[in-house]
Amino acid sequence: MGKGKGRKIQRVLSAKEAAALLRSIADELEGPHEGPWGEEAFVDIQRLRKLRIGFKRDREDGQISVKVRVRHFSEAEEPLAHAPEASPSGGPAVNEDFKGLKNKMKSSFKEIFKSLANGSFPSEGAVESFLEDSRKMVAYPGRGEEHYDEFQRLCEGLRGAFEKRELAACQGFCHDLNRIKTECHSDHK
């Protein structure tokens, strides 16, 4: 899975030019339109994944520093409004929305991470919840497939170390899971 097409512009503009940029992007969201500086359309609403616009006015000359970043789904990806019904491996149906699932994972991982950092085992419930939600998460396409294999391997390692009550191994797997999570979020947020 590719990250999809991304474009980034950085310009220093007057307030009037910045307003024109926003109008141009708004026009593009409504349909095909020439880009803000005469190039082809900057935002393809049909394939839009993410649009970030940042304005910073800290210049003495009254100009505004503008950063615009647009990411589109690649040709191979389909934009999803909801989760797939089943995992690619034919596993159980995935019915939870992605954001809710990620919030549950964040909560259980935080408990696991804190317990292990304090030199104690986390609750079995937190570990089971995290591992079950992790299995569901990897069924979502377009959310970091390039990290899924390593992530799943680390989850299984954590499961095994937890079942054997190997604290140091659990701490190592937890550290590695945190690293892969950070890498994935850096690539996909």
Q: What's the pTM value of the predicted model, to 2 decimals?
A: 0.51
Same domain, 106 and 179: yes
Q: For the chain, what is the domain count? A: 2
Same domain, 49 and 109: no
Same domain, 162 and 119: yes
pLDDT tens digits in sequence order for the chain, 189 residues long? 344 556 777 888 888 888 888 887 777 777 665 555 555 556 666 677 778 888 888 767 878 888 888 777 765 555 444 344 444 444 434 444 788 888 899 999 999 999 999 999 999 999 999 999 999 988 888 788 888 899 999 999 999 999 999 999 999 999 999 999 988 888 776
Distance between CA atoms of 186 and 40, rounded to whole angstroms? 28
Same domain, 107 and 174: yes
